[in-house]
Structure 1
Amino acid sequence: MTRLIPVAALALSACMPTSGTDVAERRAAALPNALPPMNTFAQARAPAPSRSNSSVAADFLDLSFQMESGRVIERMSRFEGPVTVAITGAVPASMSLDLDRLLARLRAEADIPISRVSSDASITIETMPRARMQRVVPQAACFVVPRVSSWAEFRRNRSGGTLDWTTLETRERVAVFIPSDVSPQEMRDCLHEEIAQALGPLNDLYRLSDSVFNDDNFNAVLTGFDMLILRAYYDAGLRSGMTRGDVAERLPAILSRLNPSGGSAVGGGRGSVTPRPWISAIETALGPGSSDAARVQAAERAVRLARQQNWNDTRTAFAYFALGRLTLSRDVEASIEAFQQASGIFDRVAPGGIQSAHVDMQLAAFALSSGQVEEALALTARAMPAATRAQNASLLSTLLMIRAEALDDAGRPSEARSVRLDSLAWGRYGFGGQAAVGARLTEVAALSPRR
């Protein structure tokens, strides 16, 4: 429901924005006089989830009948009938195209009758400068609320129960608020997450490795799992007002029909619950308002709690990933060890996934800075396919920048120039304007020992 702004990284991180102040004495990398045209991803259909329908059923129920805060949702709510979407405010061309592509995917993959209109819509997207939005909701990168269709309505109804999702029986009007002055990728990510929650489940589950319904923010484009969840959410066998028990009774047959490769879904019990202390530790580690030392301690606490739970999933790996990022400027050996721990788990539970690509980017940056050119090239080559499949241009751009520096260091300047130009084209989508692209290029260039 609310896409939070991740804490600024202490060093390279394509998953989160960076402060750009972590390398002393850095020398600006040279940008061409004009950046190459912006690269964008082609429309793609996500593959169906590979796990069992019984697992999907448990996730469906936990996503649909609980808020992120832990509050229980007694009755399911959704739009009944065709859904319309309108967008107001400053609308960049890339955002308009990304919205059209998202709606086309929702029609084709989730079988939702959803279309774009000029006004009076079921879902109204309003854009505005980030600073204006954050004066009211400081930590939100973007968010969605029910029963209103504009920023003015949202401001008038902030007190009272109007915006309480748990009181809905049927969804009729929903507003999505997205900043207009961020990168094309960040606007697209907000569209995917907030429209998905405007339509369907309102919870996020850290245990999900293949979903945007997860606050780890690794997946930012709706996955095959997400489309299956939304398709089931709008199946004719369900309706607004149903209780958890009602839905659990019908869900096995629905999933068996929609996802025959998932086998027969027996029951719809609960998946592995994520304890609130672990969530609080992660929020402290990656959120604002805490000192660097407190964030590191929180990440260490998250790792301990995950190990105490005997989790062998992405939650333990994410805790290690957070610890690795937060110790980058304090203890390089500890940081590398944490990233390697995260890598081992991610490779086991989500092989070839976007999570491993993020870790490989960090390890490639270490390899580049220590003169291990061939290792940097191998790690970037391994990570780029996953970044492309996940349509993560900022990660892909950073990987290409690291690769270009490694090629230069290896004495292959013509290849480096070609790869660097490609990185800039992806950077325009992933990071935004020339200044942001140049800042990332300079940050990566400073890693090379020859600089």
Structure 2
Amino acid sequence: MPGNSGDIPSRAATPSPADIGSIKLFSVPRPTPPMRSNRDIARDFLDLSMQLESGRQLRSFSRFEAPIRVRVTGAPPTTLLPDLARVLHRLRSEAGIDIDHAGSNAPANLTIQAVSRAEIRRHLPQAACFVVPNIDDISQYRRARMAGRTNWSSLTRRDKIAIFLPNDASPQEVRDCLHEELAQAIGPLNDLYRLPDSVFNDDNVHTVLTGFDMLILRAYYAPELRSGMSYNQVAERLPALLSRLNPRGNSVASGAISSTPRAWIQAVQTALGPGASYGQRQRAASQAVSIAQTMGWTDHRRGFSHYAMGRIAQSTDPAAAQKHFSAADAYYRQSPATAPHRALTASQLAANAISQGRGDVALMLINPQIEVAERYENAALLATLLLLRAEALDLTGRSSEAKTVRLDSLGWARYGYGADWAVRAKMREVAALNPLKSF
């Protein structure tokens, strides 16, 4: 769900029986390199790096100037350390950043503290996780905030940063928070809805750092830049810097899209975020679609507006919801950068096809998206697609194959949804779509 807009970068807010199966993990990352013009990427870099999510402009560029050493405190879940090792390796190899675990007795300048979701929401009610400068324990947050020490806009250099992650969420939610908050702890603090291929986007479609994100972080730590630079100083150095790091972007024509108005951002956050009534969500989603139409958008933001409207309408007007999901898919299919967006929409369209007993249609929708969910490392989506595929196979008389697919989904569901009860709930939810079954 989209996070709240503000000055604190955040990501918007057990053992199991043997028959659920072992947790599955993704192996080799397969990031897609950015396919945009360097001119457009320079604009993205400046907007990401020189302002906060609230829209407040930053006076100076800031980053770590010393090697980054990371420690983990609190009560981390078992999947956190392997996921951390994996993303640190990517940051070293893909972004060229000097970042690693701190030794057992060595000092660290970046602390990842694993605490309960309740503890996180005590400090930021709408956040799933967040990142703060100048402290290393969540118990210090309130006092530091009152003293103004957590103010990102006053930083000219990063020396001590803390990330607070939930230790009682699903493994995927913890990993997703880790990727986004770690990237913001060391790099850009802003999120931009106009980016279709980045975790620096509050639609949360991307769950792990992308090829675009790694280019932004590589540029962030390039020798041409340093902490304390002004907007104009950074802007002057970006063209040559990006030409060096991303030569393919020199030959791509500019395709810059318009900025996203605050009214649309607020509408989407109300529609899909926490705390609003159904009526408020419905009105907000309708407003998002209306703004997207008025702006003349044909990009992923128009698609996401319809996707949000479909999500809201599902429980009261399934037919209208499907029209919005189909509209979303039509906009998403116009660009290869929105492959994960299409996969999310396909799961909604396939669920409707299954509920109508059209297993063959559901299979056509699902099958191409399984590889997409794997490539973008979205285990929750992958598990859902596999469970939907199992029901579609049952509807087409392929029960033996359906059983195999259903079993294959469970390990991904363990990572994507977490606890045994959550996995079983998802299985029941998907099975209930099948008109051949009664519950």
**What range is the shorter-chain TM-score in?**
over 0.9
CA displacement 1:200-253 (0-9 Å, x = unmatched): 100000000000000000001000000000000100000001111111110000
Pairing 1:367–2:353 present: yes
Structure 1 residues 411 and 266 mapped into 2: Cα distance closer, same or farther (>3 Å)? closer
Distance 1:126 1:39 in 2: 24
Pairing 1:97–2:82 present: yes
Structure 1 residues 151 and 144 mapped into 2: Cα distance closer, same or farther (>3 Å)? same
Q: Residue 93 of structure 1: SS of its match in structure 2?
A: coil
Q: Which amino acid aligns with 2:332?
A: F
Instruction: Verify the 8 A CA contact 2:387 2:405 in the aligned structure 1.
Output: yes
Q: Which amino acid aligns with 2:11?
A: R
Displacement of 1:160 in angstroms is 3.2
Structure 1 residues 351 and 373 mapped into 2: Cα distance closer, same or farther (>3 Å)? farther
Q: Residue 353 of structure 1: SS of its match in structure 2?
A: helix
TM normalised by structure 1 equals: 0.91
Distance 1:315 1:375 in 2: 27
Q: Which amino acid aligns with 2:70?
A: V
Instruction: Verify the 8 A CA contact 2:48 2:189 in the aligned structure 1.
Output: yes
Pairing 1:404–2:390 present: yes
Instruction: Verify the 8 A CA contact 1:255 1:265 in the aligned structure 2.
Output: no
Q: Give the aligned partner of residue 190 of structure 1.
A: 177
Q: How does 1:165-244 map to 2 (within 5 A)?
A: 165-244=152-231
Q: Which amino acid aligns with 1:334?
A: A
Structure 1 residues 115 and 337 mapped into 2: Cα distance closer, same or farther (>3 Å)? same
Structure 1 residues 321 and 125 mapped into 2: Cα distance closer, same or farther (>3 Å)? same
Q: Residue 435 of structure 2: SS of its match in structure 1?
A: coil
Q: Give the aligned partner of residue 96 of structure 2.
A: 111
Displacement of 1:350 in angstroms is 3.5
Q: Residue 157 of structure 1: SS of its match in structure 2?
A: helix
Distance 2:98 2:60 in 1: 22
Distance 2:289 2:57 in 1: 27
Q: Give the aligned partner of residue 258 of structure 1.
A: 245
Distance 1:351 1:73 in 2: 29
Q: Give the aligned partner of residue 17 of structure 1.
A: none
Pairing 1:248–2:235 present: yes
Pairing 1:2–2:14 present: no
Distance 2:211 2:245 in 1: 12
Distance 2:327 2:196 in 1: 17
Q: Give the aligned partner of residue 436 of structure 2.
A: 450
Q: Residue 392 of structure 2: SS of its match in structure 1?
A: helix
CA displacement 1:245-276 (0-9 Å, x = unmatched): 11111000000000111116999x98621111
Q: Residue 25 of structure 2: SS of its match in structure 1?
A: coil
Q: Give the aligned partner of residue 273 of structure 1.
A: 259
Displacement of 1:433 in angstroms is 1.4
Instruction: Verify the 8 A CA contact 1:407 1:416 in the aligned structure 2.
Output: yes
How many matched pairs?
Answer: 425
CA displacement 1:138-183 (0-9 Å, x = unmatched): 1110000011111122232121321010100000000000010111
Q: How does 1:4-403 map to 2 (within 5 A)?
A: 4-5=12-13, 34-117=19-102, 118=104, 120-263=107-250, 272-350=258-336, 353-403=339-389
Distance 2:252 2:365 in 1: 39
Instruction: Verify the 8 A CA contact 1:252 1:264 in the aligned structure 2.
Output: no
Displacement of 1:365 in angstroms is 0.3
Displacement of 1:290 in angstroms is 1.8
Q: Give the aligned partner of residue 433 of structure 1.
A: 419
Distance 1:123 1:243 in 2: 25
TM normalised by structure 2 equals: 0.94
CA displacement 1:313-359 (0-9 Å, x = unmatched): 11111111000000001111110111011101111023661000000
Structure 1, unpaired ranges of 5+: 6-30
Structure 1 residues 70 and 38 mapped into 2: Cα distance closer, same or farther (>3 Å)? same
Q: Residue 144 of structure 1: SS of its match in structure 2?
A: strand
Displacement of 1:288 in angstroms is 2.1
Instruction: Verify the 8 A CA contact 2:358 2:395 in the aligned structure 1.
Output: no
Structure 1 residues 254 and 445 mapped into 2: Cα distance closer, same or farther (>3 Å)? same
Displacement of 1:129 in angstroms is 1.3
Q: Residue 112 of structure 2: SS of its match in structure 1?
A: strand
Distance 1:224 1:376 in 2: 31
Distance 1:72 1:264 in 2: 31
Decide which moves more: 98-107 or 156-165.
156-165
Distance 2:110 2:256 in 1: 31
CA displacement 1:84-119 (0-9 Å, x = unmatched): 111011222311100000000000000000010146
